[in-house]
A = this chain, B = another copy of it.
Amino acid sequence: MIENALPVQTDGRLLRGEATRERVLDAAERLFAAEGFDAVSIRRIAAEAGVTLGVVGFHGGSKQNLMRTVLERRVEALNTRRRAALEALRDAKTPPALGDLVDAYLTPYLEYASQGDPQWRAYARLIARIANDDRWYPSVGGLYDPVAREYLRAMQQARPDAPQQELATALTLTVASMLSLVASRARIAGLSNRAPGSPMEYRDTLITFCLGGIDAVSRT
């Protein structure tokens, strides 16, 4: 088993294979996001990346491992933006309001999902997919949950009298609503009689909805 293939060479130009590796991960990211893990074959990933079959195995390992790598590749950037938004609220003179917390948590993901970079958009769709699949979440949920827990603590400080258990559930429903804007575009567009647009168009309504929901729950 080839565990770690990182090049030992000094010069950056040496990493000829690093570019191919990115192409493979990008292709896998796009296809997994669009069609799901089981519907995509390694051969199609290879074709999409413009490489031969063996290269995918060389850079990505097994199919499961390839999926995991794709999921882990961008998680730090998303977590960093969410943490930074939370820090910014804490640095303000007044303690953060509930609405600011909801906004701060939802906005980075929505921006990534609506951004110009198609790879980030694909990654956002992929997250929405696996969050709704109990098969994947156990192995990657730990990457996202710590930040969510930080927000949960901040919400508890903003609503000290709210029942903890219910507040936690309200946050998970908030996350589910957010993800649904990306994962369930067909259903949402159909029911709201809108042409399916960027998730960002629903941002204000989403925040109002979730804030109203959390507020109601925290008054239980």
B-binding residues in A (CB < 8 A): 35-36, 38-39, 128-129, 131-135, 137-138, 141, 145, 148-149, 152, 165-166, 168-173, 175-177, 179-180, 183-188, 190-194, 202, 205-206, 208-217, 220
Specify the chain B residue showing the minimal Cβ separation from A173.
B177
By the criterion CB–CB under 8 Å, are A36 and B35 in contact? no
| Alpha-carbon distance between A96 and B60 when the two chains are bound, in angstroms | 57
By the criterion CB–CB under 8 Å, are B141 and A187 in contact? yes
By the criterion CB–CB under 8 Å, are A131 and B184 in contact? yes
By the criterion CB–CB under 8 Å, are A205 and B169 in contact? yes
Partner of A180 from B165, B176, B194 at Cβ < 8 Å: B176
| Alpha-carbon distance between A170 and B173 when the two chains are bound, in angstroms | 13
Closest chain B CB from A51 CB (angstroms): 24
